[in-house]
Amino acid sequence: PTVSIRPTPAREMVWVEISIPHAQAAELELRDALGSVVLARQLGTIRGEHVETLDLSRLNGGIYFLSVRVDGREHIERITHF
């Protein structure tokens, strides 16, 4: 899978674009710098281009790590929120 995030740094909203050539189950987790899960979503089975919108407006500013898991493989991206 291919994962891209924009914008980064982010103020309120982040768009996560996931591209998966074959139908597979996907999930995402957003963790703070201490490793605590602040958001988790089961995306179900997806195929092709998929976009998730994350609202960061209720989170404190700082560094977060977005984990996207597809078919047992994990992709991690850093998000700076201000």
Question: Distance between CA 82 and CA 18 in Å, rounded?
Answer: 24
The answer on pLDDT for 1 being more than 90 is no
The answer on pLDDT for 10 being more than 90 is yes
Question: Distance between CA 80 and CA 24 in Å, rounded?
Answer: 28
The answer on pLDDT for 60 being more than 90 is yes
What is the reported pLDDT for 46? 95
Question: Distance between CA 78 and CA 11 in Å, rounded?
Answer: 14
The answer for residues whose C-beta is within 8 angstroms of residue 71's C-beta and 6 or more apart is: 24, 25
In whole angstroms, how far apart are CA 8 and each of 4, 16, 36, 53? 10, 11, 20, 13
